[in-house]
Amino acid sequence: MQFFFEVLIAGLLSGVMYSLVALGYVLIYKASGVFNFAQGAMVFFAALTAVGLHDLGLSLWLSVPLTMVAMIVLGLATERIVLRPLVAQAEITLFMATIGLTFFIEGLAQAIWGASVRGLELGIADVPLEWLLDVVGMAISQFDLIAAGIAAALVAALAIFFSKTKIGRALRAVADDHQAALSVGIPLHHIWGVVWAVAGFVALVAGLLWGARNGVQFALTFVALKALPVLILGGFTSVPGAIVGGLIIGASEKLAEVYVPSLLQRLFDTQMNLGGIEGWFPYVLALLFLLVRPEGLFGERIIRRI
């Protein structure tokens, strides 16, 4: 039982980080109806830039803020150069544009910083917490806990930002009805700019955390793809959905990894090696979920008028 909880908690903690990546998608999708395929590339770009600057001899305290500036610039530039000219185009056009953007950003990152795997040291050790081990006898990684804490704080801050501030209100307004938002003088482009910048910032935090954990390498973009099942579960337009979806995916993939192989082996009476379940389980889960509730846990039911 204790082992089960250990796995569950580890899963939930990495789930928080999935939520963080998914949040980047939700923000942009909500505000502008664009599914930003390049979010994963942005995570990669952010991590690589931060590490690259750090490797150049800058301290983390300097390289992270610099990267932040770079990400905001990247976000604003994307909105200005790629999306604004495409305003009022079909959703699929915009989607294709973001695919193009993905390759561009990935290429740009590697052109500047090279393609080798780099380590990122944030100064938090990935070791079990001593006192937790003593008190309840569970091995919970210190790094996971702190990373989850940072991610949770960011999510909370964003939630407050969007529910309490004027920009947040404007963003929700834009998400609801462009025309009406324009008529009350909400400048759409500003809002989009802000959203892209925020998405860039979220990508930076995600990139740092994931990069420190798995190393900064091209594979980071695949982590971002894990956000897809999260989105399918939580709904593309829901911030709480992204959070809950992330937790479910994180927990279930870890549990599946541990328990499913032995289950399958017993079921089919084979000795086949069934590793790597973590890799595909979330997608299967999402697929099943898609059949039951296509709009996601928290998403709005979309009724298309014909």
Partner 1 sequence: MDKRIGEVILSFQNISLSFGGVKALTSIGFDVREHEIRAIIGPNGAGKSSMLNVINGVYHPQEGEIVFRGKTRRNMNTYESAKSGIARTFQNIALFKGMSVLDNIMTGRNLKMRSNFLLDAIYWGPAQREEIAHRKKVEEVIDFLEIQHIRKTPVGRLPYGLQKRVELGRALAAEPSILLLDEPMAGMNVEEKQDMCRFILDVNDQLGTTIVLIEHDMGVVMDISDRVVVLDYGKKIADGTPDEVRANQDVIDAYLGVAH
Binding flag, residue 242, partner 1 (CB under 8 A)? no
Lay out the site mask for partner 1 across 131-170 (x = CB under 8 A, - = otherwise). Answer: ------------------------------x---xxx-xx
Binding flag, residue 172, partner 1 (CB under 8 A)? yes
Q: Which stretch binds partner 1 (CB under 8 A): 95-103, 173-181, 214-222, 252-260?
A: 173-181
Q: Which is nearer to partner 1, 57 or 185 (CB)?
A: 185
Binding flag, residue 177, partner 1 (CB under 8 A)? yes
The two three-digit tokens of residue 104, written as one number: 């561009």
Closest CA to 33 of 164, 191, 158: 191
Q: Which is nearer to partner 1, 122 or 173 (CB)?
A: 173
* Least separation in angstroms between CB 301 and partner 1: 13
* Least separation in angstroms between CB 154 and partner 1: 13
* Least separation in angstroms between CB 60 and partner 1: 22
Q: Which of residues 178-207 bind partner 1 (CB under 8 A)?
A: 179-187, 190, 194
- List residues binding partner 1 (CB under 8 A): 161, 165-167, 169-170, 172-173, 176-177, 179-187, 190, 194
